Amino acid sequence: MSAAAPGLYLSSTGSYPRIGDSPELQVLRKTIAALDRGERTTADLLDAEHEMTRRAIADQMKAGLDVITDGLVRWYDPISHLAGKLENVKIRGLLRFFDTNCYFRQPVLTGKPVRRGPLVVNEYSFARNALGHLPTPKGKAGKLSIKPVLTGPYTLAKFSQAEHSGNGEPESFASLETRAMAYAEALAAEIGALAEYGAELIQVDEPAAVKFSEDWTIFENSLAPLIAARDKAREAGRKVEIALYFYFHDCTSLYEKLVKLPADIIGLDCTYNPKLADLIASAGSPKALGLGLVDARNTRLEDPEVLAWQIERMLSKIDGGRAYLGPSSGLEYLPRDRAFAKLELLNRVREALLGPKGSVK
């Protein structure tokens, strides 16, 4: 990196399309459909998930990213994939996920959600191994990292409900706060396990916190167990950071509060309000930022020169000059070819900022 951008990393923001238009990219869809018909086994499903995970990782490497995810290709949706693995949680009907045209299955709590086993540790472990088996792009040796992703406790709680007992008794988990704290306890255990497995950066998504800012105190309180788990891992000698990501809503009015949260990195969707980039450039940030400047919800490709100019203004105001340029959210809302083009765009932005050979422009 040049002196102009000592800490600009290219990063995934989570999901990647699990399907494409060519037959070999439809293996997961076809396997799930065949499994439903009783023509395939769960072992076949696992193979298909592995295959599409490898492809997601390969695409991110090919595009030149520094921080990669497994593409979340095994996730049914961002809510039920995690909540469904907890004890005392049933998964019910479909609801719209924010302003997307995608739907998630709603968790219903029959008691306290309890973690009895790994949520994404196995997925993280597979992705890390897969990364090790793929050819490392030139100049990236030792510089690539895999980032596990979790949906945060507040967002999980906001989209869950407590089961009605039918006897008029108040439900223990009827309150949002109780649900959020219970999920936080489960996720804190997962963060501890991920740190133990070597995860150095863990992304926690909290899109609901900016959409429903009236619950700010509940959201903020629910972070405490996660931060405590991170600190405990650090005390045990683990090097781990938590990145909190916010998207699907304008973050501008909450910016001052967001950058004071006790996470190490704050990831922001900059596409809902162009003034957010101006605000970051003027107010600065006391901690590293995830800059969601590339629109993950529309196929139009941004001008790399314009984005480079925006980043240049912001970087000097970000503490340590460390920032993670990425899509505004996960990329699964785009067709695969367009999602890959967005990843390639990230590299073009960095080139526009640094010059093609890393020289300062």
Partner 1 sequence: MSREKLKSLGLKLPLFPTTSVGSFPKPDYLAKARTEFSKGKITADQLRELERKATKFWIKTQEKLGVDVLVDGEMYRGDMVAYFAERLPGFTEGGLVRSYGNRYYHKPIITGEVEWPGPVTVDWWKYAQSLTKKPVKGMLTGAYTIMDWSFNEHYADRRATAMALAGLIRKEVEALIAAGCKIIQIDEPALSVRPEELPIAIEAMEATTKDLSAYFITHACYGAFEQIYPGMLELAVDNFDLEMSNNDLGLLEVFRGQPFTKDISFGVVDVHTHTMEEEDAVRRRVEQALTILSKDQIWVDPDCGLKTRTVDEAIEKLRLCVAAAEAFRH
Applying CB under 8 A, which part among 220-228, 229-237, 292-300, 306-314 lies near partner 1? Answer: 292-300
Please, which residue, 76 or 361, has the CB nearer to partner 1?
A: 76
Applying CB under 8 A, which part among 125-133, 234-242, 279-287, 336-344 lies near partner 1? Answer: 336-344
- For tokens 């039920």, the residue is 80
Applying CB under 8 A, which part among 82-90, 170-178, 194-202, 332-340 lies near partner 1? Answer: 332-340
3-state secondary structure of 152: coil
The least CB distance from residue 166 to partner 1, in Å, is 14
When asked if residue 93 is in the footprint of partner 1 (CB under 8 A), the reply is yes
Q: Please identify which residue in 299, 305, 316, 361 interacts with partner 1, judged by CB under 8 A.
A: 299
DSSP 318: B
When asked if residue 87 is in the footprint of partner 1 (CB under 8 A), the reply is no
When asked if residue 246 is in the footprint of partner 1 (CB under 8 A), the reply is no
The least CB distance from residue 92 to partner 1, in Å, is 12
Q: Taking CA 69 as the corner, what is the angle to CA 64 and CA 71, rounded to the nearest 5 degrees?
A: 105
Please, which residue, 151 or 285, has the CB nearer to partner 1?
A: 151
3-state secondary structure of 10: strand
When asked if residue 306 is in the footprint of partner 1 (CB under 8 A), the reply is no
3-state secondary structure of 87: strand
- Token pair, residue 261, equals 């949260």
Beta carbons within 10 angstroms of residue 139's beta carbon:
8
List CB contacts of 36: < 8 A, sequence separation 6 or more.
Answer: none
Please, which residue, 9 or 340, has the CB nearer to partner 1?
A: 340
* Residue 46: C-alpha distances to residues 4, 22, 190 (Å): 44, 20, 22
Contact 283, 257 (CB under 8 A): no
- Which residues of the chain form contacts with partner 1 (CB under 8 A)? 17-21, 29, 32-33, 36, 76-77, 93-96, 99, 101-105, 298-300, 332-338
